[in-house]
Amino acid sequence: MDTKEEQYERIERYLANSLSTDEQQAFERTLQQDPVMAHEVLIHRHLYEAIRNEVPDNLMARALQKAANDYFADESQPEVVVPQATASKKSRHVPSWYWMAASVGLALVMGAGLFYVNNTTTVSNQELVAGNFTVYEAPAVFRSGGKDEAPILKTAFVAYNQKEYRKAIDFFQKSLLENPRQVVPNFYIGQCKLALHDAKGAIPAFQKVVDHGDNAYVVQAKWYLALGYIDLNQKEQASSLLRELSQQGGPYGERATRMLNELSN
């Protein structure tokens, strides 16, 4: 009779399909006659599946926990009031001296402001971007359809997670050479470029994601595209994207609203 160690080894070889044909047939006959052994094989099979999935499952569980934490943290925050561009305002009577005083004040402020406005615009845009830009997380579970794409993208994400953005860009670009229709590399090239303060390089990458249309990153790409435009002081393009995001609500709705307010100040 087999020792337990021998029994385990036989099960391992059976599950790995490494028994000879004769051994396999004999073992399968045993399984039909011996329910205890059949149960052990079932336990081993489930054990293998569970352990092989342990790392990705754990990553997903953490990603879900983070999403839950973010959601419940937001729920306890007071709601942001969305300004309505076309909202009707209640008219009220304002004394004429108010307007005179306001005009004088405004002229003084404008006069003083003119000395500074050219120097401060660029800086404040960059500050605005820096205050709103956080590098988008790499997918918790990365899977790729193509056999040859996965190793390149995995290497790209390793570099990305280690903040080696130039190296990550190289690998994302290599991955695009394999399959130029991919959305993920373009989205993350945009991220890397923004992280490297290269808004000019980030914009075309994000634009490709938006133009592709049918993918999971369109909304996110619009937000980062808006940040890129702000960085380059192209406020009109940025505002148009932000208005869209603000009206749609969704994951960037509130931030887009706040950003619009800051841009208009």
- Told to check if 90 binds another protein by CB under 8 A, we report no
- Told to check if 34 binds another protein by CB under 8 A, we report no
Task: Give every CB contact of residue 208 below 8 A, 6+ residues apart in sequence.
Answer: 183, 186
- The Cα–Cα gap between 243 and 247 comes to 6
- Told to check if 146 binds another protein by CB under 8 A, we report no
Residue 76: how many CB atoms within 10 A of its CB? Answer: 6
* Direct distance between the N- and C-terminal alpha carbons of the chain, in angstroms, rounded to an integer: 84
Least separation in angstroms between CB 125 and another protein: 24
Residues of this chain, 205-244, that bind another protein according to CB under 8 A: 213-214, 216, 218-220
- Told to check if 147 binds another protein by CB under 8 A, we report no
Distances (CA, A) of 103 to 88, 109, 113, 114, 264: 24, 10, 15, 16, 20
Considering only the stretches 19-27, 66-74, 78-86, 160-168, report the one whose residues sit in contact with another protein under the rule CB under 8 A: 66-74
- The Cα–Cα gap between 163 and 154 comes to 14
- Told to check if 24 binds another protein by CB under 8 A, we report no
Q: How many residues bind another protein (CB under 8 A)?
A: 49
- Told to check if 8 binds another protein by CB under 8 A, we report yes
- Residues binding another protein (CB under 8 A): 4-5, 8-9, 16, 39, 42-43, 46-55, 57-61, 63-68, 70-71, 136-137, 139-143, 213-214, 216, 218-220, 247-251
